[in-house]
């Protein structure tokens, strides 16, 4: 894997599960889980409730389909908010029979998803004295639903005796289960805890193994505890991971309430459970849903993507859904959770490092990073070997030759197995220490890990040089020197992590993704007491806080900030909150240069950093807002060519959408706070329209447009001046992109931006243009 998925080994398990889930040929009686989306408007008057009707529908399937060997269908969940319909265990023939009913919109097989961590508040310039924190009262009374691996209660991050009782609008519950006593676990900070396992259990074919995991909201893994405390953890003095990152830890929305929905289990997170949790979170009264989970591989079509469907349901109810973009970078089109109504978050570094240097026998020093917290190396000069010469370049457990590595420092290549597992493999083979070296895939991206042996991680170029040194010496030696926690503007921050998934948008190239980047590398947050910080069985340590990396960690930062904005501006739609975050995001690092991409060391592009790095205090006062409503998203679905049937999955109870009466001329006409232009020729001309609302005052604000780049494109804006008469007034403009490039640009991209400025606010949208060569996304 080599990706910083905290659930490392389970990812393999879930692949196996997916194979098991593929329905057998013919009607063998094998049941699997399907999510059935239903058009509720067709409910006959004879059925008193939707649930009754769903049951009747299943009972009235043709008789031969209900006889053994195919057992009767079994209902797992009813959905009413995130979508309408149900999840059920069905045979393939039963599923096919349902598909043919006119009021069944779609019957999708259940699928497994995967979960994709405190200096970050200071790095984000959040202050108790001014800006978004005090303006929002720290989001007291906002509820953030964290859909993840559950929660480990009683951690200091989840205790805050100063909070008032939960908001009266809260209708959620705190449910008990083995190892989780709700009357002890829940309090005014952790106001809800539920668990959704029917899809998981059904897919496994047996009850949850309680010796491995807890059938309760209890987080036995750590990921959910970490994300929840990042979004809304209470302030904790002198937090840290051993000697590292010590200081006050606090979540983004320090006083927001947390509701934990456990949807991820040892073998993955199943769509049917995710939808059930989204449904519950909306119904319970959550303001923000934080979902650090997504598809592996390319993003599914929106109409086959349960997270996209559920998030649409959430948007209809005014609930912001913030998701991780995925850890599949640095390749293009790797971002998932890319529907325009989702807030899609990529991962970047902060200005905190955990340096641990490699010093070779010849005195050369290479900078690395590490969170190793045990005994130091005894000698300053240990023999150094390359794992590739000792049986396993990647340091796979059991494949290293003890005779060759015992007592030595071993250079292992990154990739395939989890980074901490490599150190564990070296330790098991008797090695004294490890240098973990990147290969081309990850370039210079460094992730500090809490290794079990003295170990550090170096970039690709240092790795190459150390391998050369080993080859050129008869008795190469090295040592590793751990330098603790260093906060500094050198190297500059933020930088986009190489693992952070990127655009263009695989399903709708006219919608720029990711939307924003936020801290996701080496993040300190709370951890479970059940598992070790490395999640390795051989690691006996238990910690209050852990430092991990991933877009999983960046997502809850933005979820927390969205809750702060929601609390400050209760009338703002999820799209308005997103607009404020995007148009105020920054694009320069703390050395004044364009934010760099760690995979190349070069400037990042909007396909990598979206609109830029979130700036919470600026988002408090965005000046103008690009808003969108449910109808706009429906028009967008028409514009990307979805059929009435596919769109009905999103409209549900409304009348059939008539796409020819919809106003969007093209998908890029959605009122999005970013521009992504796909030119089909070098002389193509593309025009998009936008509407902006004056939310910043004064009444008579006058905004002027300023355009930068992209090269090879003539960008014109009409009008180029927006003269407002009132707050909350909306004005529109058209922006035209005329390609004036030569043929050489085919297949390339160009980037720029447009800023509307009134002298006080600068409302910036990124521009990405692509000259199409041959790529056509299949819808
Ligand atoms: C749960 O905690 C409460 C309060 O401490 C206690 O009274 C109750 O017995 C506990 N329930 C279980 C099942 O342990
Ligand atoms: C250092 O030496 C001591 C005693 O010789 C030994 O117990 C310890 O395990 C050694 N530490 C390492 C990291 O090798
Ligand atoms: C759809 O809208 C078009 C344009 O407004 C109209 O001509 C057509 O009759 C409508 N079709 C239906 C089925 O309502
Ligand atoms: C850009 O477009 C404007 C308006 O259409 C036109 O007046 C101008 O000449 C164009 N510039 C270039 C370099 O083509």
Going from the Cα of 661 to the center of ligand 3, the distance in angstroms, rounded, reads: 6
> Residue for token digits 């006996």?
540
Going from the Cα of 643 to the center of ligand 3, the distance in angstroms, rounded, reads: 15
Identify the band that residue 655 occupies on the pLDDT scale cut at 50, 70 and 90: low
**Does position 269 have pLDDT exceeding 80, yes or no?**
yes
Residue-wise pLDDT for 468-494, tens only, equals: 999 999 999 999 999 999 988 888 999
> Residue for token digits 């494949």?
399
**Can you give the pTM of this predicted structure?**
0.91
Residue whose Cα lies nearest atom 3 of ligand 1: it is 183
Mean pLDDT of 304-312: 96
pLDDT score of 759: 93
Going from the Cα of 626 to the center of ligand 4, the distance in angstroms, rounded, reads: 27
Residue 458 and residue 437: Cα distance in Å, rounded? 5
Residues framing ligand 1 (Cβ under 6 A)? 181, 183-184
655 lines ligand 3 (CB under 6 A): no
440 lines ligand 3 (CB under 6 A): no
pLDDT score of 550: 93
Helices (H) then strands (E): counts for the chain: 20, 39
4-20: burial string, b at 16+ Cβ within 10 Å, e else: bbbbbbbbebbeebbee
**Does position 771 have pLDDT exceeding 60, yes or no?**
yes
Q: Are 532 and 383 in contact (CB under 8 A)?
A: no
237 lines ligand 2 (CB under 6 A): no
pLDDT score of 779: 31
Query: Any idea which ligand is nearest the CA of 658?
Result: 3
Query: Any idea which ligand is nearest the CA of 661?
Result: 3
First to last CA, the chain: 28
pLDDT score of 742: 86
Residue whose Cα lies nearest atom 1 of ligand 4: it is 714
378 lines ligand 2 (CB under 6 A): yes
377 lines ligand 2 (CB under 6 A): yes
Residue positions annotated with a catalytic role:
148, 223, 552
Going from the Cα of 80 to the center of ligand 3, the distance in angstroms, rounded, reads: 29
658 lines ligand 3 (CB under 6 A): yes
Going from the Cα of 688 to the center of ligand 4, the distance in angstroms, rounded, reads: 17
What phi, psi does 633 have (nearest 5°)?
Answer: -70, -35
714 lines ligand 4 (CB under 6 A): yes
**Does position 16 have pLDDT exceeding 50, yes or no?**
no
Least confident of 50-64, 226-240, 260-274, 276-290: 50-64
Going from the Cα of 667 to the center of ligand 3, the distance in angstroms, rounded, reads: 20
Going from the Cα of 176 to the center of ligand 1, the distance in angstroms, rounded, reads: 10
Identify the band that residue 431 occupies on the pLDDT scale cut at 50, 70 and 90: very high
Mean pLDDT of 246-254: 93
Residue whose Cα lies nearest atom 12 of ligand 3: it is 658
User: Which ligand 2 atom minimizes the distance to the CA of 433?
Assistant: 13
19 lines ligand 3 (CB under 6 A): no
**Does position 761 have pLDDT exceeding 60, yes or no?**
yes
User: Which ligand 1 atom minimizes the distance to the CA of 183?
Assistant: 2
* Structure tokens given for 699: 């009444």
Rounded to the nearest integer, the mean pLDDT of the chain is 90
pLDDT score of 574: 98
* Structure tokens given for 151: 């929660």
User: Which ligand 1 atom minimizes the distance to the CA of 181?
Assistant: 1
Residue whose Cα lies nearest atom 2 of ligand 4: it is 714
**Does position 298 have pLDDT exceeding 90, yes or no?**
yes
Residue-wise pLDDT for 397-408, tens only, equals: 999 999 999 999
User: Which ligand 1 atom minimizes the distance to the CA of 182?
Assistant: 1
74-78, 379-383, 763-767: which is most confident: 763-767
**Does position 496 have pLDDT exceeding 90, yes or no?**
yes
Indicate the SS3 state at residue 124: coil
Q: Are 692 and 733 in contact (CB under 8 A)?
A: yes
Best CA proximity match to 182, nearest among 173, 172, 170:
173
Task: Give the bridge partners for 545, in sequence order.
Answer: 526
**Does position 755 have pLDDT exceeding 90, yes or no?**
yes
pLDDT score of 654: 58
683 lines ligand 4 (CB under 6 A): no
Q: Are 561 and 620 in contact (CB under 8 A)?
A: no
660 lines ligand 3 (CB under 6 A): yes
Query: Any idea which ligand is nearest the CA of 184?
Result: 1
Going from the Cα of 152 to the center of ligand 1, the distance in angstroms, rounded, reads: 17
Going from the Cα of 649 to the center of ligand 3, the distance in angstroms, rounded, reads: 20
661 lines ligand 3 (CB under 6 A): yes
pLDDT score of 120: 54
User: Which ligand 2 atom minimizes the distance to the CA of 377?
Assistant: 13
Residue-wise pLDDT for 550-599, tens only, equals: 999 999 999 999 999 999 999 999 999 999 999 999 999 999 999 999 98
Residue 768 and residue 502: Cα distance in Å, rounded? 13
Cα separations in angstroms, 462 against 98, 125, 496: 59, 33, 20
Residue 728 and residue 719: Cα distance in Å, rounded? 19
- The backbone region for 535, taken as left when phi is positive above 0, alpha when psi lies in -120 to 50, beta otherwise, is left
Cα separations in angstroms, 415 against 294, 396, 455, 603, 615: 21, 10, 16, 25, 33
| Percent of the chain at pLDDT exceeding 70 | 94
| Residue to mutate, 181, 186, 217, ligand 1, most ligand atoms under 8 Å from C-beta | 181
Residue 717 and residue 690: Cα distance in Å, rounded? 11
Q: Are 771 and 748 in contact (CB under 8 A)?
A: yes
Residue whose Cα lies nearest atom 5 of ligand 1: it is 184
Identify the band that residue 27 occupies on the pLDDT scale cut at 50, 70 and 90: very low
User: Which ligand 1 atom minimizes the distance to the CA of 176?
Assistant: 13
Residue-wise pLDDT for 706-729, tens only, equals: 999 899 999 999 999 999 999 999
| Residue to mutate, 183, 185, 216, ligand 1, most ligand atoms under 8 Å from C-beta | 183
Mean pLDDT of 394-399: 94
Residue whose Cα lies nearest atom 7 of ligand 1: it is 183
Mean pLDDT of 247-266: 95
* Structure tokens given for 204: 């496994």
pLDDT score of 489: 83
Residue whose Cα lies nearest atom 2 of ligand 3: it is 661
Going from the Cα of 406 to the center of ligand 2, the distance in angstroms, rounded, reads: 13
| Percent of the chain at pLDDT exceeding 90 | 77
**Does position 437 have pLDDT exceeding 70, yes or no?**
yes
740 lines ligand 4 (CB under 6 A): yes
pLDDT score of 652: 79
> Residue for token digits 């292992």?
412
């Amino acid at each position: 894997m080599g990706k910083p998925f905290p659930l490392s080994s389970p990812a393999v398990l879930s692949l196996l599960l997916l194979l098991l889930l593929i329905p057998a040929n013919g009607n063998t009686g094998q049941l699997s889980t399907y999510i059935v989306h239903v058009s509720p408007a067709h409910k006959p008057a004879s059925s008193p409730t939707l649930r009754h009707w769903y049951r009747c529908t299943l009972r009235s399937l043709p008789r031969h389909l209900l006889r053994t060997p195919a057992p009767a269908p079994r209902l797992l969940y009813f959905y009413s908010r995130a979508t309408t319909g149900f999840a059920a265990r069905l045979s393939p023939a039963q599923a096919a029979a349902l598909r043919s009913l006119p009021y069944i919109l779609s019957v999708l097989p259940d699928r497994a998803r995967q979960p994709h961590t405190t200096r970050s508040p200071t790095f984000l310039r959040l202050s108790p004295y001014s800006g978004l924190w005090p303006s929002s009262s720290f989001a007291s009374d906002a509820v953030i639903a964290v859909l993840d691996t559950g929660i480990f209660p009683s951690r200091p991050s989840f205790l805050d005796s100063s909070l008032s009782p939960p908001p009266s609008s809260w209708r959620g519950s705190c449910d008990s289960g083995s190892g989780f006593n709700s009357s002890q676990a829940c309090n005014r900070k952790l106001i809800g805890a539920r668990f959704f396992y029917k899809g998981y259990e059904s897919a496994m074919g047996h009850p949850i193994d309680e010796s491995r995991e807890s059938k309760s909201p209890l987080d036995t893994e750590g990921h959910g505890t970490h994300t929840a405390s990042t979004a809304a953890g209470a302030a904790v003095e002198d937090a840290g991971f051993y000697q590292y990152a010590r200081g006050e830890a606090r979540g983004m929305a320090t006083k927001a309430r947390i509701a934990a929905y456990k949807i991820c289990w040892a073998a993955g997170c199943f769509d049917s459970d995710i939808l059930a949790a989204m449904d519950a979170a909306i119904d319970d009264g959550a303001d923000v849903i934080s979902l650090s989970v997504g598809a592996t591989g390319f993003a599914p079509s929106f109409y086959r993507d349960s997270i996209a469907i559920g998030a649409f349901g959430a948007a209809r109810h005014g609930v912001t859904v913030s998701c991780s973009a995925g850890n599949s970078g640095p390749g293009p089109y790797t971002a998932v959770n890319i529907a325009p109504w989702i807030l899609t978050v990529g991962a970047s570094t902060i200005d905190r490092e955990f340096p641990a240097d490699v010093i070779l026998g010849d005195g050369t020093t290479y900078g690395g990073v590490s969170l190793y917290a045990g005994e130091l190396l005894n000698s300053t000069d240990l023999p150094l070997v390359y794992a590739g010469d000792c049986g396993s370049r990647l340091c796979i457990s059991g494949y290293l030759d003890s005779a060759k590595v015992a007592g030595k420092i071993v250079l292992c290549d990154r990739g395939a197995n989890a980074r901490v597992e490599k150190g564990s493999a070296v330790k098991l083979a008797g090695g004294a220490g490890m240098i973990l070296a990147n290969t081309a895939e990850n370039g210079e991206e460094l992730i500090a890990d809490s290794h079990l042996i003295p170990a550090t991680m170096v970039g690709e170029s240092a790795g190459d040089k150390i391998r050369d040194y080993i080859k050129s010496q008869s008795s190469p030696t090295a040592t590793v020197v751990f330098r603790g926690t260093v906060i500094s503007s050198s190297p500059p921050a933020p930088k986009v992590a190489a693992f952070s998934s990127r655009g263009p948008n695989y399903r709708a190239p006219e919608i720029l993704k990711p939307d924003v980047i936020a801290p996701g590398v080496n993040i300190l947050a709370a951890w479970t007491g059940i598992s070790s910080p490395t999640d390795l069985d051989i690691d006996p340590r238990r910690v209050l806080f852990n430092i991990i990396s991933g877009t999983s960690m960046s997502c809850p930062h933005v979820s927390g900030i969205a809750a702060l904005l929601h609390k400050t501006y209760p009338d703002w739609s999820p799209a308005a909150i997103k607009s404020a975050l995007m148009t105020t995001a920054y694009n320069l690092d703390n050395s004044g240069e364009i934010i760099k991409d760690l995979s190349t060391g070069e400037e990042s592009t909007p396909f990598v950093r979206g609109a830029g790095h979130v700036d919470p205090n600026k988002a408090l006062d965005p000046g103008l807002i690009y808003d969108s409503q449910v109808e706009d998203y429906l028009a967008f679905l028409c514009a990307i060519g979805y059929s009435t049937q596919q769109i009905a999955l999103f409209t549900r109870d409304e009348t059939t959408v008539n796409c020819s009466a919809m106003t969007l001329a093209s998908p890029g006409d959605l009122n999005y706070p970013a521009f992504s232009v796909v030119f089909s020729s070098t002389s193509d001309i593309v025009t998009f329209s936008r509407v902006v609302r004056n939310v910043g005052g004064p009444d008579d604000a006058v905004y002027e447009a300023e355009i930068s780049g992209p090269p090879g494109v003539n960008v014109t804006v009409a009008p180029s001046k927006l003269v407002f008469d009132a707050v909350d007034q909306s004005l529109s403009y058209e922006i035209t992109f005329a390609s004036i490039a030569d043929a050489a640009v085919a297949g390339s991209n160009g980037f720029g931006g447009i800023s509307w400025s009134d002298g006080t606010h600068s409302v910036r949208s990124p521009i990405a243009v692509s000259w199409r060569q041959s790529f056509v996304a299949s819808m």
